[in-house]
Amino acid sequence: MKAISGKEFAKLLERKGWVLKRIKGSHHIYMKEGINVRISVPIHGNKPLKLGLLKYFMKVAGIDESEL
């Protein structure tokens, strides 16, 4: 699986229709209409997201590995 940073994942979420609701520290909280889950993406410069966290975010957001 390709490693991507929090910044890159946040851009991908926005392209998929997720909306940035607020920022708390270095975490950007995204929500989507009709889905009762929030995604809190850590934005720590260009450091890649950890693999388990990335897989969880992809599962919740309905993003396929080929879209990375």
Asked whether the predicted pLDDT for residue 1 surpasses 90, the reply is no
Rounded Cα distance, 20 and 47, in Å: 20
Domain membership of residue 47 as a residue range: 6-63
Considering the domain boundaries, does residue 36 fall inside one?
yes
Rounded Cα distance, 41 and 49, in Å: 9
In tens, the pLDDT along 4-61 reads: 999 999 999 999 999 999 999 999 999 999 999 999 999 998 999 999 999 999 999 9
Considering the domain boundaries, does residue 1 fall inside one?
no
Q: The domain spanning residue 59 has which CATH number?
A: 3.30.920.30
Considering the domain boundaries, does residue 58 fall inside one?
yes
Distance of CA 19 to the CA centre of its chain: 11
Whole-angstrom Cα Rg for the chain: 11
Distance of CA 2 to the CA centre of its chain: 14
